[in-house]
Structure 1
């Protein structure tokens, strides 16, 4: 039903994640993040918003990704129908794919990056997500769009795509939280929106707002 990617850039301190699905409102359901904590993606046949929100609370408290995944998935009797991907404040990653997830379903976790997907054509979709991100030298939003586009070209959600979202958290820039909730061409629309965010006049205004490195910044 959904494929997602979570990343951390050790050099810049930027956390960046994206997701796409063949249903509505993937950003609202799946992605969460905090500049001081990390990122998570909760998805699946019956995705748990409690996993998503509890993961962020635990990350904020300083827990590592593997401990968060274990703590949330083990006691949940419905875990077979869910997926969880977590990236912690140090770039540690961990994931869970329930046994009843609609195939193809799996996740790939490496330092600073984790991808997950269910109801996708094959593992190639996950590998394309990684390659699409790692081979791009563009801005974080554009790299995420490239990753989603590569995954779509590799087989995508088997139903096609209806919504897409991205989240970029930077120490020295305001959050970029973009969502296409219902579209026949969500990746095209997401790419267009990401370009607009990086252009004047909107981009100029972003330089006046508080950021982690300057919480009192103003015009």
Structure 2
């Protein structure tokens, strides 16, 4: 039902995730996280939003992603119908795929990245998504978009696509949380929304609101000269 990717940029410390599905509202259901906890992607036939929140709590307490995933999934009697991926603030990854997840299903890791999927058209969807991210350069959102596009071209969700989402978090920049909840062209619409988020006046406004690294930031405390497109 869903393809998701979670990634860590060692150079910037930014964390990013993206997802696409043949159902509604993939962003609200699947992606969660923050710069102090890491990111999670909870999905499946009967996805648990509780899993997505609980694994973040574990990682914020210092648990590595793989251990956090194991701690959250093990006690759940319904885990066979669910899937979970996570990445912590150090770029360590973990994942779980229940035995009753709808095929094609599974997960793959790479350096600072994990991709999970179920109800896919082909196994290559997962590897294509991961490899496109690892083989791309530039800002995190662009690499995540390239990964989703590659996964879709490899077959994507077996039902087609209806929604897509992008989440990037950082201590030094405002969160980027974009969602296309229902569309005949969710990836195209997500790319257009990303482009709009990088234009004025929205981009200028994000330069003056508080961040974790600068919690008291305000317009009269920030330099006004133009800044480049953010690395988020």
SS at structure 1 position matched to 2:52 = helix
Q: Is the 8 A contact 2:9 2:140 kept in 1?
A: no
Deviation, structure 1 residue 136: 2.4
For 2:21, the equivalent position in structure 1 comes to: 21
SS at structure 1 position matched to 2:12 = coil
Mapped to 2, the partners of 1:110 and 1:93 lie a distance apart of 9
Larger of the two Rg values belongs to structure: 2
Higher mean C-alpha displacement, 121-130 vs 134-143:
134-143
C-alpha offsets along residues 123-174 of structure 1, whole Å, 9 cap, x if unaligned?
2111111122222223222221111111000010000000000100122210
Query: Where in structure 2 are the equivalents of 1:35-184 lying within 5 Å?
Result: 35-184=35-184
SS at structure 2 position matched to 1:160 = coil
Mapped to 2, the partners of 1:216 and 1:178 lie a distance apart of 25
For 2:30, the equivalent position in structure 1 comes to: 30
Unaligned runs of 5+ in 1: none
Divergent runs of 4+, >4 A: none
Deviation, structure 1 residue 114: 0.3
| TM-score relative to the length of structure 1 | 0.97
SS at structure 2 position matched to 1:173 = coil
Mapped to 2, the partners of 1:106 and 1:139 lie a distance apart of 27
Unaligned runs of 5+ in 2: 220-232
Mapped to 2, the partners of 1:92 and 1:22 lie a distance apart of 28
Root-mean-square deviation (CA, aligned residues, Å) is: 1.0
Q: Which has the higher strand share?
A: 1
For 2:230, the equivalent position in structure 1 comes to: none
